[in-house]
Structure 1
């Protein structure tokens, strides 16, 4: 069944569906979960939902599968509705589903709801993983929840997730947006394998706070590191060219921008 699903064998899936309607292996939970998953992969969301509704017995897999299907299609309202019903019926929610819904709120720009959901995770005994921490830090950085972001940072330290580079990147962005550039820079230096995301997070913070001197030195260091700047890097430093007091720095930024534009 699962191999057929991976091969997107629509015909086989429909044959199984007809067999179930005819009473063969009627209401076998494992089979129906597999069929719901298959329908979701074929973009037949309505059929998957219909099959789910017909199931007299559902388990955690059934609910998580439907939430995953709707989330994968970007149908966040439906995914969130299923999630709330799942909680109401006291089904165990795994960390992947928690993160999926929290990430959905984040993508929709509903940062407060994302943070409230993470708080519910903790209250219900769910153990935050690096993904949940990154979502929480990202939401905090957008709404300026300074007290809460420090609490999440503390949680990351206690769980040793602050050693993960992607978590440190989120911390850099959070502190930079919170205008704590010194702490952001400290986190920046702790990242051993700096990606362009790491550099951009710090450069963006300097640019946002009009710190052209620091941005200039960091930009030079980026070029010397051998990492190629991208359009986000240029978007971060370009505003500095317009008003930077030090003409030399302004010319350096402008020169690189002109070269990059001709590549």
Structure 2
């Protein structure tokens, strides 16, 4: 397009910068940046400025991304979300948390993606109460929890045994029909299991017609976490008979609870690598 003499505009540059970020083409991205400087100097359109911040963030060039962010004469929610996500994607939660607070103090609108990013960061840094407080603030701001927020909240509840809050999130999931989502149901099973409520975990597990490996693992970890080895053994056998192949998470969950040779497993999965590993480690 440029070779034909057609001049890029404020709509062209964001698309090309996004493509550079997706393709991880830093060299071409810098060439586009130079082209923008040549065309506009430093009086950039907001969308172009946001795209530059986002692109450098994807490259991990966070110093450049933050410098460009600081140079913005005006910022919108996309500007804040872009720089926060840049730090969050690199696990730099301290910087992400600080920017989130600055964003709120600046009165910028916080969308649910950013709320979820920061709440998820709290879970990753083991600030489980902080994650639940953020979800509570979301609700006070009139933002309904989406499936991602519910999974984050259930994960936090699982880690601190907050079953009452977990049941509140469960009720919210039912009202919004998100309880039919596989990831939400698995998070619910895990939450009830870790909170030592295997009855409700079992009810949810049995209500799922097509169970994924994650669903089986969630229920297995519930039994093993409560030292119910017989139930775990029975469920593991049932999983194998249903045609679901275990993974390392399954083996790590059940291994400490098998202390004898189980010929049924050999009959079901003769020659299967995981069973060989299981038997070797047991003996």
TM-score by length of 2: 0.84
Alignment equivalent of 1:12, drawn from 27, 31, 37: 31
Matched residue, 1:66: 83
Alignment of 1:199 onto 2:209: no
Query: Which residue number corresponds to residue 52 of structure 1?
Result: 69
Q: Determine helix, strand or coil for the equivalent of 1:226.
A: coil
User: What is aligned with 1:115?
Assistant: 132
Structure 2 distance, partners of 1:262, 1:236, is: 14
Which residue matches 2:101? Answer: 84
The residue aligned with 2:118 is: 101
| CA apart distance, 1:4 | 4.1
Residue in structure 1 matched with residue 8 of structure 2 by the alignment: none
> Where in structure 1 are there 5+ consecutive unaligned residues?
243-249
| 4+ residue runs over 6 A deviation | none
* Alpha-carbon distance in structure 1 between the residues aligned to 2:58 and 2:41: 23
Task: Return the alpha-carbon distance in structure 2 between the equivalents of residues 18 and 110 of structure 1.
Answer: 42
CA RMSD, aligned part only?
Answer: 2.1
**1:32-51 equivalent positions in 2, closer than 5 A:** 32-51=49-68
Encode CA deviations 1:41-84: one digit per residue, 9 max, x unaligned.
22211111111111121111111111111111111111111111
- Kept in 1, the 8 Å contact 2:154–2:187? The answer is yes
TM-score, normalised relative to structure 1: 0.90
Task: Give the superposition deviation at 1:25.
Answer: 6.3
> Residue in 2 aligned with 1:245?
none
**Structural mapping, 1:139-218, within 5 Å:** 139-218=156-235
Quick check: 2:261–2:279 contact (8 Å CA) kept in 1?
Answer: no
Q: Distance in 1 between matches of 2:84 and 2:250?
A: 36
Q: Over residues 179-224 of structure 1, what are the superposed CA-to-partner deviations in whole Å (9 max), with x where a residue is unaligned?
A: 1111101111122221111111111111111212211211111001
